[in-house]
A and B are shown apart, each in its own frame.
Chain A
Amino acid sequence: MTDDIFQGYKGAGLEVLKKYNVRVWGQAEVLTSRGDFKGTVLPRSENDDDQHIVLKIATGYNIGIDIATITAMTETGYKKANYKIPEKEFPITPGLPKVKLLGTGGTIASRLDYRTGAVIPAFTPGELYGAVPELADICNLTTEKLFAVFSENMGPEQYTTLAVAIGKEIENGIDGIVIGHGTDTLHYTAAALTFMVQNPPVPIVLVGSQRSSDRPSSDAALNLMHATTAAGHGDIAEVMVCMFGPTSDEYGLLHRGTRVRKMHSSYRSTFRTIGDTPLAMITRQGLQHIKQDYNPRRKDRQVIIKPYFEEKVGMIYYYTNMQPDMIDSMVDNGYKGIIIIGTGLGHVNKPLYPAIERAVKKGVAIYMTVQTLWGYVHMFVYDTGRDLMAQGVVPAENMLPEAAYIKLGWALGQTSDLEKVKEIMMTPINDEITPREPYNGYLIYQGGVPEVEEFIKKFHK
């Protein structure tokens, strides 16, 4: 393993290290045209250039040395870092609910390698207990790592694996399930699990974090406490997403898996229920219900697992002047279902009509959702909508685009009979379509308006 002693170095940088016989983790004295430097040679990030060598100096800071300035370099010592997460046995407390944490690869809890900055995920109950000891007061936790993929790489294979694993846990008598997940596609997985795991008797809570747990202000620990509380003690037996309500460390929200969406690229309070209210607020003390109709926790184990998915389904985000070849190419590539995300009430331009007509004729299922996210598709209002419907585009009511995409894949995974698909699509499993929109389902308050500012000043953001 010659490469390992020059971790991350390549090209010219690597040559310099070799020339002076200095290894990564070696203590080095470097003479340069800018003066002398002393420190421990650190691994170099692979995406960085090959013109610098990284040193950790005595005060703990990192600096880079330009190799062009180096006149001499000696290794005066060597000390390789060796890290592991402290593992403490997770205490089992009689009387506390049994909660299973299923890992998908997102890091909810982790520990930091202070020298390289690498984040070491904490996952086993012992590791988690070391990082968030409060969990032991909430539940008796066990964990299982199903796979290790980044959020953006989650897909049908992972959805079905998860669904089957959940079924097994329920059968084995678990009191609640928590799924650790990266946040980017958390709502896709939440929708998939809602369709694939029907009639669950226990809470199934998806959780992530917007600020990694290596920082003191991370939302990870509190999210994990909220999620285990909801899973172990909550009485809502549905697939839910549990993330921060406000950006403040105050309470979390439980969102129904089909109506939730990530709405900000970086805020802690990024997840929002769209077109409805969240199910409940959650603190470490417990749940406070917002919606009164929900599926309550049950003692039985009558869960139905439907782990199906057709991969040849796609989404197409309409833009002005979209050309028909966008749809043609999907059809020609064998897609069986398309979700169009249309403008306004669910529209696309006229030039697409022939392409849509061709697609429908070829047996492709096409459903319409809206770019506005809030509100229903209403294709009767204008001629455009009526024309599209006549061609066979099905309005998907107020289904969110991502939920519609997941559902269409799931429906086509079960049958290729388009009438049956339509029946599945239009029969809500758990509020992916709601019959009505409550007055407080659409609240994007406008900053700057006096009464909004007054509210913001009074309550924590």
Chain B
Amino acid sequence: MSNKINPALNYEKTMRSAGYVPRKQATQKTYDAIGFMSGLEVHQQLLTKQKLFCRCPAGIFQKPEEYHAELIRHMRPTLSELGEYDGTALMEFKTRKNIVYHINSRTACTYEVDDTPPFPLNREALDIAIRIALLSKLNIVGEVHITRKQYLDGSIPTGFQRTAIIGVEGEIPLKNKKVRLIQLSLEEDSCREVSDIGHQRVYRTDRLGMPLIETVTYPDMKNPDEVMEACNYIRFLNRSTGLVRTGIGAGREDVNVSCRGGTRVEIKGVSRTKLIPELTHNECFRQWALLKIRDRLKDQVKQQKEWKIKPEPLKSIAGKLESQRFKELSNNGHKVMAVNLPGFGGVFSHFTQPGKCFANEIADRLKVIACLERPNMTCSEDLDPMLADNDWDQVRSLLNASPDDAQIIFWGPEDDIKTALETIEERCIMAFSGVPNETRKSLADGTTIFERVLPGADRMYPDTDSKPIPLEDSHIKKLGQDLPSDVIERYHQLKTWGVPEDSYHYLFTHNLYPVIEKIIAGLDQDPKKIGKLFGHFLKYIAGHYKRSPDFSYERIYDLYKYVVANKLDAEIVKIMLPVVYQYPKMDFDSVLVNLDFKRFSKDEIVSNIPFLKDKYKSIKTSKLPEAEKHWAMGQLRKMAVGNIPLKELMGII
């Protein structure tokens, strides 16, 4: 065939024509050219004793195998406002999933599995949410209405999430701009997925029902770094209250991205903020590439409305195939289908993301919608061909294919073939109009895969099981009285103090600013030194020593207080901190005994200098003029630390 596509070359060529550059090489110009736009939904678990709508304890987790009972549910689409099923609903219904919930009696009761109506909303959680809403400069609602938001993937056994708006229209300041906030809601967390294989998805119910807030921004971010900056700001703001959970999974983000002419695509459940720039960069270019595919198909497929796939079972030509693969597949009980896709030549090997092409868009949907476990397909433009060229010729003649067509071979259980064929056709037809509405799952390499069809707008309705909760002015005022200072003010203060900027991330992540401020203001310490101790030295300690569960940052304040009260030099803190970090209950006198610390007066220390200078003459280690000083200092360091400032001693020597 004359115009046969070389998949590898086509991939490179289409990557260039989509204008893709690695993130390191991208500038604001790059993003302006493709119309980068992004918004965030930042989720944060709140530090409460109990869950949001029942009295189960919050924050206790189980390993996958630690469960007492399981039950099974199917999620059924409910009719939308127009009397039609919405996209996600239909998709989830198509997949015919058995949703299995694992229950551990320590962490879930009959509420979580929807066998008991909700108990009154957890007030502790509500108050924390209001505080954070105030910090986010949001307009607090007059009355909290519990709303049901439908989820059909089974991640919540009721099929909906109970959620309530606390405030609307706020803003957060970034270094160079302000980002507007749409709203902040208080909601119940969902289940954790254990597995999703074939037609069975398994969930754990420990996290389910824990209080969670969601802060939603407008799509004000114009490049990937801004998205991360905004995300960090919101996370730091949440943490500045000291009333939120920390640790793995306690904070998660959904990132919405679109390019000019693209569609708002939601990247779900990003747990590592660091991944955000790469993910948003790649998603924006994926959309840009899909628009290129759309343009290309305009030329290649003239009758788009009548476009259809043409499937044939591969069985009829099985005997003629060289490749052993077909035999293996049918021996595994799979049905193997060949599908012709008219006019799709050059599309399947078209670049979409680094290392991925349009074929992945189909394979991912086959897994999620038709429940075909990967690998589930190969195509005529596979970068790593599974079938020999001759075999593809056989397939093409079976399908009566034209040279401009592409072909897929896929396999799976007989029962799933119909849905698989619909899925392939549906996704190809979507390519005619560009970027499908969907949610995507993030991968560690910064790329994403299809997760679900994006739910329609009409999936929110009032919770008939709960009454609205009025929020009095007096109550809001009370909650607003002892709010922490703004993160942006803290940022400027640290800068003024001369604390190095590379330590801020650590300081804000661990909400160390309050204790730093307390030490500086209350114990009259050098701000820069204190900032560095927390931002650099403490970080080093945390990386090298095992933290006692009893250790709290407040203990460092106690330590400084002790040092001041005992007229020790502050340098001693660095020696003492590793011990205090591991044994916070040990009294500071004992810590010093442990470290073999002895009290010396300045005169006692200084009196050693003439003797040392004498001694140095006989051992003279270097010709450098400073060498004598350094040697003497080294000899006196242990004696001096904590007793006199080392700088002062150096000066004397």
A-B contact pairs, 8 of them (CB 8 A): A57-B168, A63-B143, A64-B141, A69-B473, A86-B84, A131-B79, A249-B74, A266-B110
Q: In whole angstroms, how far apart are the Cα atoms of A453 and B70 in the complex?
A: 11
What's the Cα separation between A119 and B80 when bound, in Å? 12
Binary contact track B312-328/A, C-beta < 8 Å → 1, others 0: 00000000000000000
* B 141-181 to A, binary, CB cutoff 8 A, 1 in contact else 0: 11111011111100001111001110011000000000000
Cβ of B604 within 8 Å of any chain A Cβ, yes or no, is: no
* Chain B positions 460 through 471: 1 when the CB is less than 8 Å from some CB of chain A, otherwise 0: 111110011011
Q: Are A69 and B142 in contact (CB under 8 A)?
A: yes
Assembled-state Cα–Cα distance A111/B77 (Å): 11
Give the CA-CA distance A130 to B85 in the complex, in Å: 10
**A2 on interface, CB distance cutoff 8 Å:** no
Q: Which of B113-121, B539-547, B570-578 lies on the face that meets chain A?
A: B113-121
Q: Complex Cα distance A143/B480, Å? A: 58
A315 to B182 Cα, complex, angstroms: 58
Looking across the interface, which residue of chain B has its beta carbon closest to that of A61? B165
Give the residues in chain A near B79, CB-CB below 8 Å: 85-86, 111-112, 130-131
Bound-state Cα–Cα, A211 to B73, Å: 13
Binding site for B on A (CB under 8 A): 32-37, 48-49, 51-52, 54, 57, 59-69, 83-86, 111-117, 119, 130-131, 211, 213-218, 221-222, 246-250, 264, 266-268, 453, 456-457, 460-461
Cα–Cα, bound, A196→B474 (Å):
62
CB of A114 within 8 A of CB of B461, answer yes
Question: Which residues of A sit under 8 angstroms from B467, Cβ to Cβ?
Answer: 48
Are A217 and B75 in contact, CB atoms less than 8 angstroms apart? Answer: yes
Cβ-defined contact, A61 with B460, below 8 A? yes
What 1/0 mask marks residues of chain B from 30 to 58 whose CB sits below 8 Å from any chain A CB? 00000000000000000000000000000
Rounded to whole Å, the gap between the CB of A403 and the closest CB of chain B is: 26
Q: Smallest distance from the beta carbon of A267 to chain B beta carbons, Å?
A: 5
Neighbouring A residues of B84 by C-beta, 8 Å: 86
- Point out the residues of chain B lying under 8 angstroms from A211, CB to CB: 114
Bound state CA distance, A74 and B116, in angstroms?
A: 42
Q: Which of A67, A69, A116, A264 contacts B462 (CB 8 A)?
A: A116
Known: A217-B114, A457-B70. A61 touches B75 (CB 8 A): no
Known contacts A48-B468, A216-B77, then 20 further A-B pairs from the complex at CB < 8 Å, ordered by chain A residue: A52-B142, A52-B468, A57-B183, A64-B142, A64-B468, A64-B470, A67-B142, A69-B473, A114-B458, A116-B462, A215-B114, A216-B150, A217-B114, A246-B71, A247-B71, A249-B72, A266-B110, A267-B115, A460-B71, A460-B72
In Å, the complex CA distance between A356 and B251 comes to 68
User: What is the distance, in angstroms, from B208's C-beta to the closest C-beta of chain A?
Assistant: 13
> Within 8 Å CB of B462, what residues of A?
62, 116-117
Q: Point out the residues of chain A lying under 8 angstroms from B114, CB to CB.
A: 211, 215, 217
A247 close to B76 (CB less than 8 A): no
B143→A64 contact, CB < 8 A? yes
Q: B68 contacts which chain A residues (CB < 8 A)? A: 453, 456-457
CB distance from A85 to the nearest CB of B (A): 7
Q: What residues of A have a CB within 8 angstroms of the CB of B347 in the complex?
A: none
A34 touching B78, Cβ below 8 Å: no
B residues neighboring A (CB under 8 Å)? 67-84, 89, 103, 110, 113-117, 138-145, 147-152, 157-160, 163-165, 168-169, 182-183, 185, 216, 457-464, 467-468, 470-471, 473, 476
**Among B110, B138, B476, residue most surrounded by chain A Cβ atoms (within 10 Å):** B110
Is B142 touching A249 in the complex (CB atoms < 8 A)?
A: no
Q: Taking A69-B473, A83-B81 as contacts, is the C-beta distance between A216 and B141 under 8 angstroms?
A: no
CB distance from A312 to the nearest CB of B (A): 36
B145 and A62 contact, CB distance less than 8 A: yes
Tell me which residues across on chain A come within 8 A of B185, comparing CB atoms: 61
**CB atoms of A216 and B115 under 8 A apart:** no
Count chain A CB atoms within 10 A of each CB in B69, B157, B183 and give the residue with the most. Answer: B69
- Give Cα A248 to B72, complex, Å: 5
Residues of B with C-beta under 8 A to A112: 78-79, 461
Contacts of B110 in A (CB 8 A): 266-267
Chain B nearest CB, measured from A222 CB (Å): 8
Which of A63, A66, A266, A460 has the most chain B CB atoms inside 10 A of its CB? A63
Question: How near does chain B come to A307, taking the closest CB pair, in angstroms?
Answer: 36
Can you name the residue of chain B whose Cβ is closest to the Cβ of A218?
Answer: B76
A-chain residues with CB within 8 Å of residue B76 when the two chains form the complex: 216-218, 221
Chain A residue nearest in CB terms to B166:
A63
CB < 8 Å neighbour of A111 from B78, B141, B160: B78
CB distance from A255 to the nearest CB of B (A): 19
Q: Is the CB of B78 within 8 A of A64?
A: no
Evaluate contact between A214 and B78: CB separation under 8 angstroms.
yes
The reply to whether A117 and B139 contact each other, CB–CB distance below 8 Å, is no
Within 8 Å by CB of A52, from B116, B143, B164, B457, lies B143
Distance to closest chain A CB from B577 (angstroms): 45
Which residues of chain B come closer than 8 Å to A64, judged between CB atoms? 141-145, 468, 470
* Closest partner residue, chain A, to B462 (CB atom): A117
Please determine whether B69 and A65 come into contact, CB atoms closer than 8 angstroms: no
Point out the residue from B77, B169, B470 that lies within 8 Å of A66, measured CB to CB. B470
Q: Tell me the complex Cα distance, A246–B476, Å.
A: 45
Q: Is the CB of A85 within 8 A of B83?
A: yes
Q: For residue A157, give the distance in angstroms from its CB to the closest CB of chain B.
A: 29
* A35 in contact with B139 (CB, 8 Å): yes
- Are A248 and B71 within 8 A (Cβ)? yes
Residues from chain A with a CB closer than 8 A to the CB of B73 are 217, 248-249
Of listed B69, B165, B185, B461, residue having the most chain A CB within 10 A: B461
CB-based contact B139/A216 at 8 Å: no
Are A59 and B182 in contact, CB atoms less than 8 angstroms apart?
yes
Contact partners of B152 in chain A: CB under 8 A: 216
If A64-B468, A218-B76, A266-B115 touch, does A32 touch B83 (CB 8 Å cutoff)? no
A201 to B216, CA, bound (A): 62
Shortest C-beta distance, B648 to chain A (Å), equals 56
Q: Which residue of B lies closest to A265 (CB)?
A: B116
> In the bound complex, how far is the Cα of B118 from the Cα of A362, in angstroms?
49
Pick the contact of B159: A48, A116, A119, A216 (CB < 8 A).
A216
